Amino acid sequence: MKYIIALLVPIGGLLWTSAYLLIVLKGIKDKAHGMPLVALALNFTWEFVHVFIYPSYGISLYLNLSWFLIDLGITYTYFRYSYKSFEMYYSINKVHWLLLSITTLVLAFMLNYYAEGYFSQLQNITTKELLFAEVLVGFIVFLFVPGCMIAMLFQRKSSQGQSFFIGLALSISIIIYVLEISFNPFHHQWGNPFMMVLMAVCIILQMYYTVLIYHQMKQEGKNPWKTF
């Protein structure tokens, strides 16, 4: 059992990495950003904080670094292609869009930086407890990914910049991480009601998004299983 648990983290990490790569490739292919601003800002700055300021431990550090590097590509697609969406849906000029985007990134960085700093400055906090804080903030941040992508899908009424495989990879990945947390004795103290509800909501939102994008692609006459 312990070997299966040990494999869950790298498998989940690879699936997550695959989803991020697909977001970059789909964004370039469709000339449309695939991750909304708030979700991008929170994820990008969370990874930055946990790679360069409060580095994670072991394999988590390498996974965070890989996600950060791929997030540079997602950030590129956002700044390269997203303005047309903001102009269409919110009627704002390019300067306003740029200031809004930069401000959101700065605020997201401050939230992630001070959240981690708050836990790390507590007296007598252990490495294990600090890891819990990192994962807790990470799950809260992740809530915004499917939530914002659902909103973007409803707004666009199009699968542009998105795909079923992105949703599927993220769904399986988050389920794997929840299983690892649930069955790993190292994380037994994480099984409190708040954490359980938080993880459950993450799974529900992500799976809901995956179902929505599947049906959207079917409506567009695309085969969700053959479109990357």
Residue with the two structure tokens 């939102």? 205
Per-residue model confidence (pLDDT) at position 5? 67
Quote the pLDDT of residue 185: 62
For residues 198 and 137, is the Cβ–Cβ distance under 8 A?
Answer: no
pTM: 0.91
pLDDT of residue 171: 96
Q: Is 31 left (phi over 0), alpha (psi -120 to 50) or beta?
A: left
pLDDT at 130: 64
Q: Which residues contact 22 (CB under 8 A, 6 or more apart)?
A: 163, 165, 166, 169, 228
Average pLDDT of each block of 10 consecutive residues along the chain (228 residues)? Answer: 71 92 96 96 95 84 91 97 95 96 97 82 60 81 94 95 96 90 67 84 96 97 91
Backbone angles phi, psi at 191, to 5 degrees: -80, 45
DSSP per-residue string spanning 64-108: HHHHHHHHHHHHHHHHHHTHHHHHHHH---HHHHHHHHHHHHHHH
Q: Are 104 and 41 spatial neighbours (Cβ–Cβ below 8 Å)?
A: yes
Q: What is the pLDDT of residue 126?
A: 61
